[in-house]
Amino acid sequence: MQTARHVQQLRSSYIREILRAATADGVISLAGGLPAADLFPHALLQEALIKVAGNKQVFQYGETRGYAPLLDHLRVTSDLKTSHGALVTTGSQQGLDLIARTYINPGDHIVLEAPSYLGALQVFTLAQANINTVVQTSNGPALMALEQLFASRSVKLFYAVPDFHNPTGISWSLQTRKDVAKLCQAFNVTLIEDAPYRDLRFSGEHLPLVSSFCPENAMVLRSSSKISAPGLRLGSVTGPEEWIAHLIRVKQTSDLHSSLPMQAVMLEVFTHPEFEAHLRNVRIHYRQRYLALAQAINQHLPPEVSYAEVEGGMFLWLRLAQGDPMEIAKKALEKGVAVVPGDVFYSADDIKSPAIRLNFSYCKPEDLNAAIQLLARVF
């Protein structure tokens, strides 16, 4: 059967292909966006699963908005205003999809950062949005370019990842957060603040959400994937209640509600007295892994490659002075190391600066070191 026209616009995901190759025996993968499985809160999950298994009520159909005790927890921990609401989603990816399906008409102008999260590019392409991009500086989006975009057309939303961006690892400065919030307010653009890596800061100062400076102009996507385990598939959207109410109507048509037993498990894990210690442990290990990767790059790769230091998250963006990133990724795979060429994170019309994305959360420090030594042979 022929797919619908808008589906034909979707590029087959290069990442999916490379991830398949990356699972082959003997390949070290710096390609995926996978959190470390050895750092999942296994004991807490096991305890929670046993406890929840005894609760018959959570195996019944439930409210689309989510499991009420989890929603209460979210309200408190995300410091929601009384006029704001929350919706539990099946991963933050579903939150993104719901926002696009609820608010985007074909041809609507939206703004993304360049480069941008591939899953967002796919969602907004499928929604047939008119995608405009703004280049990133080391502090966040280039403000003059963003203002020009907002001023030159009617922009519906600006999707951004201000904390430890995927793929670049960049975190916005406090001033940029305030300036972007001001621009969104001035031009009445809705900010979609995607924050799955926010709790993975391992150095520097914790900064407020951008949306805290423009709460009436923003929705925030959160995810349990990087702080507990992605297989649970749970995330949330928060924002002005009337906007959330529309998302709920659309989610009803999609999956009625996210798995209630898993929401109950999530709540048990989040409220467990040892959860904070688990998070601290993840941050400590990710810092060690990042430092091991950075040291290996400094030691083994030629001086023409460069990277901006990151303060958290899971990714490092390796800028290349020359060469085709696709070609380098292909050759790296032949040598036994999987990386993602930066090109896949740009939309078709963008000017792409040559780079590759390196993930440092998944592999142990010794494997990261070995991977960079293999990559050095490609250079």
Closest distance of CB 73 from ligand PMP, Å: 17
> How far is the C-alpha of 129 from the C-alpha of 121, rounded, in Å?
10
> How far is the C-alpha of 13 from the C-alpha of 123, rounded, in Å?
12
Give the distance, in angstroms, between the CA of residue 250 and the centroid of all CA atoms in the same chain: 22
How many chain residues touch ligand PMP (CB under 6 A)? Answer: 14
Q: Are 323 and 354 in contact (CB under 8 A)?
A: yes
Q: What is the DSSP letter of 271?
A: T
Question: Between vectors from CA 297 to CA 291 and to CA 299, what angle results, nearest 5°?
Answer: 100
Residues 271-290 contacting ligand PMP, CB under 6 A: none
Nearer to ligand PMP, 132 or 359 (CB): 359
Give the distance, in angstroms, between the CA of residue 288 and the centroid of all CA atoms in the same chain: 21
> How far is the C-alpha of 177 from the C-alpha of 196, rounded, in Å?
17
Closest distance of CB 33 from ligand PMP, Å: 4
Among 67, 103, 117, 164, binds ligand PMP (CB under 6 A): 117
Nearer to ligand PMP, 223 or 369 (CB): 223
Determine the interface stretch with ligand PMP among 86-94, 150-158, 296-304, 305-313 (rule: CB under 6 A).
86-94
Closest distance of CB 378 from ligand PMP, Å: 25
Determine the interface stretch with ligand PMP among 46-54, 104-112, 198-206, 222-230 (rule: CB under 6 A).
222-230
Residues 6+ apart with CB under 8 A from 338: 18, 19, 21, 22, 27, 28, 29, 30, 31, 32, 329, 332
Among 64, 133, 223, 236, binds ligand PMP (CB under 6 A): 223
Nearer to ligand PMP, 223 or 263 (CB): 223
Among 35, 230, 341, 342, binds ligand PMP (CB under 6 A): 230
Among 66, 115, 140, 235, binds ligand PMP (CB under 6 A): 235
Residues 6+ apart with CB under 8 A from 151: 187
Nearer to ligand PMP, 120 or 207 (CB): 120
Q: Is 119 in the site for ligand PMP (CB under 6 A)?
A: yes
> How far is the C-alpha of 201 from the C-alpha of 168, rounded, in Å?
15
SS3 168: coil
Q: Is 196 in the site for ligand PMP (CB under 6 A)?
A: yes
Using CB under 6 A, list all residues that contact ligand PMP.
33, 91-93, 117, 119, 161, 166, 194, 196, 223, 225, 230, 235
